[in-house]
A = this chain, B = another copy of it.
């Protein structure tokens, strides 16, 4: 994705496309996997943790990325589909590879509806499958 496309997308989602935000979003979208704050921090040595942090937060608030907690201790962020509103229908399984540490969206696997016992209401869900990915097998 080009800088220009990214800037357009940010604007579309009501996030002012600053240089930093463009950079962060581009890295995320081009990586093809979920990245943590620390992952991003490493990729561009000279940008401040808090700046990246705040960029991620505004992406999250505007449904551009969703958090994935794969159990490694740091929350990762994956880019949302264009039409995502991060509601129950956009939820999907995530896969965490224990060999390469890569975490990715499995949009082809929506999170199955569960019949909860009486009295429970369903708001959100996280479904993380841990195993080994094709690259590492």
Give the size range of A's interface with the partner. 20 to 34
Instruction: Tell me whether A45 is interfacial, beta carbon within 8 Å.
Output: no
Shortest A98–chain B CB gap in Å is 7
A134 pairs with B114, CB closer than 8 A: no
A93 cross-chain contacts in B, Cβ below 8 A: 114
| B132 near A121: Cβ-Cβ < 8 Å | yes
Q: Which of B108, B111, B118, B132 contacts A123 (CB 8 A)?
A: B132
Check B123 against A130 for contact (C-beta < 8 Å): yes
Q: Determine whether the beta carbon of A134 is less than 8 Å from that of B108.
A: no
Establish whether residues A123 and B98, one from each chain, have CB atoms under 8 Å apart when the complex forms: yes
A79 to B132, CA, bound (A): 27
Known: A112-B112, A117-B108, A120-B95. A128 touches B130 (CB 8 A): no
Question: Could you tell me the distance between the alpha carbons of A112 and B111 in the complex, rounded to whole angstroms?
Answer: 10
Q: Is the CB of B119 within 8 A of A134?
A: yes
A123 and B117 in contact (CB under 8 A), knowing A69-B69, A71-B69, A112-B112? no
